[in-house]
Amino acid sequence: MYLVCGEALFDFFSEHDASGLASTVNFKAIAGGSPFNVAVGLRRLGVEAGLLAGLSTDYLGRRLLQVLQDEGVCTDYLLDFDAPSTLAMVAVGANGSPQYSFRGEGCADRQLKPEHLPTLGPEVRGLHIGSFSLVVQPIADTLLALVRRESGKRLISLDPNVRLNPEPNIELWRERIATLVEMADLIKVSDEDLHLLYPGQDPARVIDGWLQHRCQLVFLTRGGEGASVFSRVHGSWSIPALAVKIADTVGAGDTFQAALIGWLTEHQLDSVEELARLRRDQIDAMVRFAVQAAALTCSKTGPDLPYRHQIGMD
């Protein structure tokens, strides 16, 4: 099992209003949140997955729980809180890129504290952390404590997925990411994330610094330009994106992340030791699998992550 840790929320997408009235705004709400999406994405790829998260006892929180149950995500690591569900208001631009505005202060998915951390058995092969749960309290310090406890014992993957709406202090992001990259085995980061974290700096130089710690592999996603691989052992190279008609890019990064973990699990390489022994051709196959999966998500509206049978590559 892979245990994904972090937020679960509802994305409210603005929709076209034929009435033209400024007093009316139509929304379509879809369950999401980056860690939530990764957990669902793993299950759709055939990987046993659980979500460590706080869920609200309100109506939206119960809907989130129902989605997880329907998708087959293990719910043993969920905790209920009498607090609201986080809402993300999403407007999609002409190029398919989403613009987010969060309503999350005091909400349920932020309430995890160190005393809520479970003891993990051998069935948990790895952990994934990412997005604004890394920096909003008290969950941020809780996840940091978890990673410190488990680093070196289980495969740990990290996706910064920087969102400045829930936490606008970029220096706080920099400090927390700098701490976490020292304990992660695999990192997925977007070019947008690196631009926010380290404006004007060469991405390759930043990533090379990350590889000086435990990390074996860093995957840099570049949107329509594909993805680049940075390997401690095999150097760096790039894979082009697949040509698809883009509906929007919501969930593409989460799909890419889930596909990386899914490929490793499917090939029984989801351990700290096996990750360090990957051949270049195996890494190349892994990133091509992830690129194809992300392309499928971009061809659909919203974070509709693909199923294993829809991805032809091994």
Distance between CA atoms of 223 and 294, rounded to whole angstroms?
10
The size of the chain, in residues, is 314
The reported pLDDT for the residue numbered 314 is: 57
The reported pLDDT for the residue numbered 96 is: 60
Does the structural domain 2-14+29-310 have CATH classification 3.40.50.280? no
Q: What are phi and psi of 271, to 5 degrees?
A: -145, 160
Strand partners, 41: none
The reported pLDDT for the residue numbered 229 is: 98
**Residues 6 or more apart from 153 whose CB is under 8 A from it?**
none
Whether 69 and 63 have beta carbons less than 8 Å apart is answered as: no
User: Which pairs with CB-CB distance under 8 Å and at least 24 residues apart come from 195-203?
Assistant: 196/162, 196/164, 196/170, 197/160, 197/162, 197/170, 197/173, 198/174
The reported pLDDT for the residue numbered 94 is: 57
Distance between CA atoms of 198 and 196, rounded to whole angstroms?
6
Paired tokens of 135: 């920096």
Whether 269 and 278 have beta carbons less than 8 Å apart is answered as: yes
Would you give the distance in Å from CA 117 to the centre of its chain?
20
**Beta strands, E only, the chain:** 2-5, 9-15, 26-32, 49-56, 78-81, 86-92, 98-103, 126-130, 155-159, 186-190, 217-221, 227-231, 235-239
Query: b/e for 174-204, b at 16 or more Cβ within 10 A?
Result: bebbeebbebbbbbbbbeebbebbbeeeebe
Distance between CA atoms of 11 and 264, rounded to whole angstroms?
29
Q: Per-10-residue mean pLDDT for the chain, 314 residues long?
A: 96 75 80 96 98 97 98 98 92 68 92 97 97 97 98 97 94 98 98 96 97 97 93 96 78 95 97 97 97 91 86 73
The reported pLDDT for the residue numbered 102 is: 84
